Chain A
Amino acid sequence: RKEVEQDPGPFNVPEGATVAFNCTYSNSASQSFFWYRQDCRKEPKLLMSVYSSGNEDGRFTAQLNRASQYISLLIRDSKLSDSATYLCVVNRWEYGNKLVFGAGTILRVKS
């Protein structure tokens, strides 16, 4: 079983739609949580950190449920430019702070 699991999609949605992605992680020692965005053949870029209290950045809302080991990302009012792969990432503060990535969820926003 992979340490971080995501639905690969693709999610095909019309512009203006609301879409939600989920992710589960298996290591309860995970301590930091993130969503990264990766455009085709580009490097991953940090979209937002995820906190238990939930956090919002414009049209994006992220939520963490430590008890269920579950992370979510909600995108409201989808734009064509939101089309990308969204990577769920966890980090353990053991030696190294190496990021552990899920395989990603593909989002395609269509006009």
Chain B
Amino acid sequence: DTGVSQNPRHKITKRGQNVTFRCDPISEHNRLYWYRQTLGQGPEFLTYFQNEAQLEKSRLLSDRFSAERPKGSFSTLEIQRTEQGDSAMYLCASSLAADADTQYFGPGTRLTVL
């Protein structure tokens, strides 16, 4: 499968714990995006990378959130000291910089914070 993959697909954690999600983009894509989607809403932009550089972060991304893309390939999104309000689907997407309108989404990681 050469699409965008995300792991884990589901994560249940207790409030206050740290969690980390991984995204593997389509191999030749140099842009990688993170979005968050809550029930009844569309996805909301969190941050994006071009290669290994994190170029923009939404104000939705509090200090408890950190994202990395150390070698310009896969990316991780870490949430520290999780809160119940962090419960959501975390979606990763990738694209070519030259065709950034066309973003391919992964299946998402569904986070439940108890």
Contact = CB atoms under 8 A, between A and B. Distances in A.
Interface of A: 4, 8, 32, 34, 41-46, 49, 87, 89, 91, 95-104
Interface centre among B55, B93, B103 (most CB of A within 10 A): B103
A84 B14 CA distance: 32
A4 B33 CA distance: 20
Given A43-B91, A43-B108, A99 B103 contact: yes
Interface of B: 31, 33, 35, 40-45, 48, 55-56, 58, 91, 93, 95, 100-103, 105-108, 110
Nearest to B6: A43
Given A95-B55, A95-B56, A98-B33, A44 B43 contact: yes
A78 B82 CA distance: 42
Nearest to B99: A97
B45 A32 contact: no
A104 B38 CA distance: 12
B100 A43 contact: no
24 contacts: A32-B101, A41-B110, A44-B43, A44-B91, A44-B105, A45-B105, A87-B43, A95-B55, A96-B45, A96-B55, A96-B56, A97-B31, A97-B101, A97-B103, A98-B45, A99-B43, A99-B45, A99-B93, A99-B103, A101-B42, A101-B43, A102-B42, A104-B41, A104-B42
